[in-house]
Amino acid sequence: MALLWTSWTWTTTVGLLYVGLSLSTFSKVYRAEVETKKPEGDLWSLLVASFFGAGLVFIYSIFSLCLLAGLTLRKKKRKAGFWYGFVTSGCVNLGLVTLLCSLVLHGYKNDVVTLFQLDAGVQWSPTDTAVFETTFIVGYVAAGFYVILGCVLYYGRTLLKWRDEEDGGEGEQSLLGR
């Protein structure tokens, strides 16, 4: 159980760091695009990727916290069933989505520098460029953490054996009932 919570804590910390950086990038790119009065179609996929990735990471963090805390704290400690599998598969899928969002951000690196940093009418500093680059780097790291956590959840399910309190502790059941 300690491995599960340690893995979840580290992954969520990196994920929430990605959320903060991604929303900061979204805000700054949106403001810079409005200042340049360019059509929204130019950087639409950049804006969607930065907001979509952050939203999914935040929703997954809250959902997995509630579910895993409920599984840990319940008195009758037996099968987790469907919801544990849902969190496990969601974790791996979130790793892939975070990777794709980071690839989109990385693909726009040169465009952002060309459009905003070199344009005199836009308030875009080298610090903003550094935050933008840090966002997709942390996104790559977060994607790796989510895939690793998914493996810990999947392969660690057999390690999480609890005694069934109804049997008086005689029979053991794994978290998934196998």
Does 13 map to a domain? yes
- Residue 44 is predicted with a pLDDT of 82
Regions of the chain short of the pLDDT cut 50: 162-178
User: Contact at 8 Å (CB) between 60 and 109?
Assistant: no
Q: DSSP alpha helices (H): ranges in the chain? A: 2-36, 44-73, 82-107, 109-112, 126-155
Residues 6 or more apart from 123 whose CB is under 8 A from it? Answer: 31, 32, 35
Does 52 map to a domain? yes
Does 92 map to a domain? yes
- Residue 99 is predicted with a pLDDT of 96
What's the number of domains the chain is made of?
1
- Residue 17 is predicted with a pLDDT of 96
Does 72 map to a domain? yes
Domain span holding position 125? 2-158
Provide the whole-model pTM.
Answer: 0.81
Does 176 map to a domain? no
Does 142 map to a domain? yes
Local structure of 140: helix, strand or coil: helix
Does 34 map to a domain? yes
23 burial class (0-12, 13-18, 19+ CB within 10 angstroms)? middle
Does 75 map to a domain? yes
Give the torsion sign (CA, 137, 143, 146, 151): negative
- Residue 50 is predicted with a pLDDT of 92
- Residue 52 is predicted with a pLDDT of 93
